[in-house]
Amino acid sequence: MTKAYGGHQSVPVRLVVTKTVGHKGEERSFIEREETVVKLHDLIVKGGAIAEVTQGASGKVSDSVFYGNGTWDKIPYSVEVFSSVKLQCDQAEDAIKISQEIASNLARDALAAGLLKATVEILQLITEDLFKDRFNG
């Protein structure tokens, strides 16, 4: 829930990141939940009725990391990210539209950053930890 204070509100941006590595039957999954806080100018006029706006975005990256020259010398992975933003505003139609746009932009930005970060992390996990013997040969 957002909290209005001093002309600003604190907006939580939630991410759920699922990383999966390996071939069918040998898959390993890692799920992470993350929350950051973004401060926005308050969209609530004192004494007005309050509306709540929620926007989300999701995306997935699937690929393989090759460790040899053979067709099957690869380790598949996928990264799925879901982001969610909820903020409060006045119930006026224009305030709701602006709030939806802001929440949507925040969710998409968080999604893009989350996909990039999670993809880098899963590649490092594959090459430096889970299957390092295949990459240090």
pTM of structure: 0.83
| CA–CA separation, 81 and 32 (whole Å) | 10
pLDDT digits 0-9 by tens, 51-94: 899 999 999 999 999 998 888 899 999 999 999 999 888 888 88
Domain ranges of the chain: 3-135
| CA–CA separation, 54 and 44 (whole Å) | 16
Residues 6 or more apart whose Cβ sits within 8 Å of residue 21 = 27, 28, 29, 75, 76, 77, 122, 125, 126, 130
Residues 6 or more apart whose Cβ sits within 8 Å of residue 102 = 40, 43, 87
